[in-house]
Structure 1
Amino acid sequence: MLKLLKTLLCAALPFVPQAALAQVDYPTESVRIIVPANPGGGTDAAARIFAEYFQRNSDAVTAVVNQAAGGGVVAAQTVGTASPDGATLLFFHAAFHTANLSGNSPFKWDQFTPVATVTESNEVYAVRADTPYDTLDQLIEAAKAKPNTMSIGTQLGGTTQVKAQALNVAAGETMRIVDAGTESDRVAALLGSQVDVISMSVGSAKQYVAAGQMKALAVMNEVPDVTAPEIPTTISQGIDISLPLVQTVYGPKDMDPAAIAAIEALIAQMGEDPEFKALVEKQGQTLALRDAAATAEFLDTEYATMQSYFAN
């Protein structure tokens, strides 16, 4: 029945020509991909692209399950207590680390099996269009010239807190960090002159820049964003901040090596598939493919980076 369901679902999902890709044998007939986010956001979109590709190119039926409750705690518990056979996976990003570091979650990344990274997306530092700052360096110099007068709007306990702290460190800790809520709340606070700078998604920033309401001073990455190459990076401006939001796949502790190997095979195929790359970029993301060993190394570094900013 599951194989029949997969066949019917595959027929309904337009994607890469099946003949162009090798089918990967997976050790379980079905896979639940647990997403600690509500439907409709960037993490959910990335998870669904991954799930669709997984189902198209393996013999397993996939289902995305959204478990946003508890800021990721419920989802982590679901996966952490699941069988290690590969039938239950976690799909999340650096908020997994910040929840742990802020004391909001008992779960740390190394309590799970790192399997792969799939995509990444960027955020920018944005200011109002009527400010005199055209570069991140100008903003930082202004903050240093008048300590404790400039504020950064963020969401405490989330990844934007790290981004705010990173900017504050670059400014010699002369800026005030203000809890301004979700991205929509931060945008309202910025446009209402309640804060001086915020971090926000590239896609949203482009809309406000086009409307003449904001300036996007820098993409927080080493390389330009593919959807907004005109926005300079932090690194290109001499500011050592690189904090892309990397979507990562985890399994329960001691996950079946056969399941890991199968997902690694899918990851390798993704890197050779131009249609998959185009689909990811259409969602405002870029490929960031790593196998299990490289993912573990990346997560160790990512967690340490987050930890260093929480210490400030």
Structure 2
Amino acid sequence: MSKMLTGLLCLALPFIPQNAFAQVDYPVGSVRIIVPANPGGGTDAAARIFADYFQRNSDAVTAVVNQAAGGGVVAAQTVSTANPDGATLLFFHAAFHTANLSGNSPFKWDQFTPIATVTESNEVYAVRVDTPYNTLADLIAAAKANPNTMSIGTQLGGTTQVKAQALNAAAGNTMRIVDAGTESDRVTALLGGQIDVISMSVGVARQYVKAGQMKALAVMNKVPDATAPEIPTTVSQGVDISLPLVQTVYGPKDMDPAAIAAIEALIKQMGEDQAFKALVEKQGQTVALRNATGTSQFLSNEYATIQSYFTK
């Protein structure tokens, strides 16, 4: 890695004191971490935290490479055709599944080597503050009582489409799913009264709740969000929706077992490193660490869950 790139990465992340963990031997000297997202978002932030930890705690240098074109297809192509020696990794989340299931990408998770999960973040279902809905049950009951009159704003083809489909299924398919664009576009449409409910990140939702413009009805998870424990979960309200956005590390098919073992060693250290946990939570995410076996099982379940909403 060049001195300039190393410097930029250090500027992008808070300083973490060097820990006492042993340096992990990695089978190649440099690693490209391919991120199918633009710089500055949650996926990019998580990837840079992972890359920085990787570099500080192993004998390899790392570089984050953003390849947002094609909704993840370009990044997946880069990794699928790379040498499986561990020098090229993919860092992505459930949008990998939605792109495949919606026909926008030929790549499926099991065409790669699942290695680890690193962090997760949550979204909430939010409504305007002037609505009568104070719980998810209130919203669902209103939708069922007035079929095809309430709309969910989403971005078609993305993970928010799945979250909209999940809510609509819980409401007996009585709601309309509307393509309302990016999160900022959805917020504008919600506040402007063009749509009735949206999914949005916990951090952004809390800002609008604090400003007295929105109500956050539910976090889409089985457990409360560590950064917003005051928001009830979907499951606690009797709605079986759990769709956290889990950042996952993949390699090319048949990746070198030595590289997998080395990354698993780093994942184990992350779980014991309180400074790593604090940095992740500062970014509005939580630590969600799995080894290669656990990641394969998680992805199989995650894909099946998302696939079920595409067929409802």
TM-score for the superposition, normalised by structure 1: 0.96
CA distance in 1, matches of 2:49, 2:265: 16
Q: 1:242, 1:86 → 2: CA distance?
A: 32
**Shift, 1:9, TM fit:** 8.9
Q: Residues 84 and 190 (structure 1 numbering): CA distance in 2 closer, same or farther, change over 3 Å?
A: same
Match in the other structure for 2:73: 73
Alignment of 1:58-137 (within 5 A): 58-137=58-137
Counterpart check, 1:250 vs 2:245: no
Percent identity over the alignment is 84
Does the C-alpha gap of structure 1 residues 6 and 17 become closer, same or farther in structure 2, counting only changes over 3 Å?
Answer: farther
Pairs aligned (count):
311
Contact map agreement 2:9 2:48 (CA 8 A) in 1: no
CA deviations over 1:56-81 (Å, ceiling 9, x no partner): 00000000000000000000000000
Shift of 1:14: 6.0
Residue aligned with 1:74, SS? helix
Whether the aligned pair in 1 keeps the contact of 2:140 and 2:171 (CA below 8 Å) is: yes
Mapping for residues 126-165 of structure 1, pairs under 5 Å? 126-165=126-165
1:217 equivalent in alignment to 2:198: no
C-alpha deviation, 1:6, in angstroms:
10
Structure 2 unaligned segments of length 5 or more: list them: none
**Distance change (3 Å), C-alpha of 1:122 and 1:4:** closer
Output the amino acid matched with 1:303.
Y
Structure 2 counterpart of 1:157, which letter? G
Q: Given residue 49 of structure 1, which amino acid in structure 2 is its aligned partner?
A: I
- The CA distance in 1 between the partners of 2:291 and 2:39, in whole Å, is 26
Change (3 A) 1:15 1:264: farther
| Closer/same/farther in 2, CA of residues 14 and 181 from structure 1, 3 Å limit | closer
* Structure 2 contact 122–225 (Cα < 8 Å) conserved: yes
1:231 aligns with 2:218: no
Contact 2:82 2:252 in 1 (8 A): yes
Identify if the C-alpha distance between structure 1 residues 7 and 178 changes in structure 2 by more than 3 Å, giving closer, same or farther: closer
CA drift at 1:16: 3.9
Mark the CA change 1:11 to 1:183 in structure 2 (over 3 Å): closer, same or farther: closer
Contact 1:10 1:55 in 2 (8 A): no
Amino acid at match of 2:300: D
Q: Which amino acid in 2 is paired with 1:309?
A: Y
Secondary structure of the equivalent of 2:233?
A: coil
Q: CA RMSD in A?
A: 1.8
Residue of structure 1 equivalent to 2:50: 50
AA of the residue aligned to 1:36:
P
Alignment of 1:207 onto 2:207: yes
Deviations 1:88-137 (A, max 9, x none): 00000000000000000000000000000000000000000000000000
Letter in 1 for 2:119: T
Runs of 4+ with >2 A deviation:
2-19
Q: Give the match for residue 295 of structure 2.
A: 295
What residue is the counterpart of 1:281 in the other structure? Answer: 281
The answer to whether the Cα contact below 8 Å between 1:3 and 1:61 also exists between their aligned partners in 2 is: no
Q: CA–CA distance in 1 between the matches of 2:136 and 2:7?
A: 51
Deviation at residue 22 of structure 1 after TM alignment: 1.1
| 1:35-46 equivalence runs, <5 A | 35-46=35-46
Q: 1:40–1:6: structure 2 CA closer, same or farther, 3 Å change rule?
A: closer
Q: Which amino acid aligns with 1:44?
A: D
Query: Shift of the alpha carbon at 1:20?
Result: 1.4
Residues 234 and 271 (structure 1), Cα distance of their counterparts in 2 relative to 1, 3 Å cut: same
The AA in structure 1 aligned to 2:220 is M
